Structures are given as structure tokens and as C-alpha cells.
Amino acid sequence: MAYEYIKEFENRVPTQEYLSKAMTIEMKPLPQKEPLSAEVVNKEFAKDYNKAFSIYSGYRMDIFGVVIFKGLDVHGIPSFELSDSKDGICYALCCLHSEHEYGNIKEGDTIVISGNYLTVNEKYGVVLKNCTVKYKFKTL
């Protein structure tokens, strides 16, 4: 897996109150007609953080991407890292409730995942918490 350091994402730390909500409850759904690409959401934040924050903060969103990592994140939380291709860079870190939610998903699969927007991180891009897998596309 590869990472792209995004300087604009440095020091973007949510408040403790927001962090607690994003990690424990399902936030209201983002009004969206279809899942958003993890790459597109990441690039929206990189282009204009304040505008993207005003759109996504406080919402639960559906995003899709190719799984480039399946395992525990740096805090020991089961997660997926999503990209635009199996050899791409990480655009989103999606943290799950438990390892049981991995199901039969493997690296290289394309999935749609629903999660609460938490923050952006200079290494992982968009960070979603309280995630659930909604759909797995067939791998060719």
C-alpha cells in the first residue's frame, strides 16, 4: 500500500465532543444519490478544506473504493484503507466495529462503505468511523 503525505491535512483534529459522537452513534445521512468515490472526497478536502468540511462534517456518508489494506489501524481498530486502484494510494481510512465485519472482503475488492466523517489525516486521507460495509462488487 502507498501513502501520499498531504500537508493541507496536517493538524486537522476534531473536538473531543465531535470525536465521541462520530465514534459511537450513526450521524444523519449525507443527502447523496449514489456513493462517492474515496478519491474524489479526498481531493475535495485537499482543494478546499473549509468548503469540504462544511459539506461532510456531522454526516454519515457512503463512499466506494478498492481495498488496499485490511487489518488493524495504528490504534488497533479493524479497518479498511480505500484507493482508486489496487496499487493506488490511500484516500480513505474506514474504521469498523469489529473484525467480524471484514466478512469475505479481501484486498483488491471494490466495496461501498457507510461511515461517519471524522477528520482528514495527512497520511490516510479522509477518516470515517463507525463504518459498515454496504456492498461488495464482484472481483474480476
Q: What pLDDT score was predicted for residue 138? A: 66
Q: What pLDDT score was predicted for residue 131? A: 95
Q: What pLDDT score was predicted for residue 112? A: 97
Domains along the chain? 7-136 (2.40.50.140)
* Per-position DSSP letters for the chain, written without gaps between them: -B----GGGTT----HHHHHHHHHSPPEEP--SSPEEHHHHHHHHHH-HHHHHHHHTTEEEEEEEEEEEEEE-TTS-EEEEEESSTTSB--EEEEES-GGGGTT--TT-EEEEEEEEEEEETTTEEEEEEEEEEEEPPP-
Residues 90-99 pLDDT 10s: 999 999 989 9
* Average pLDDT for runs of 10 along the chain of length 140: 55 67 78 96 91 93 96 93 94 93 92 93 88 81
Q: What pLDDT score was predicted for residue 123? A: 81
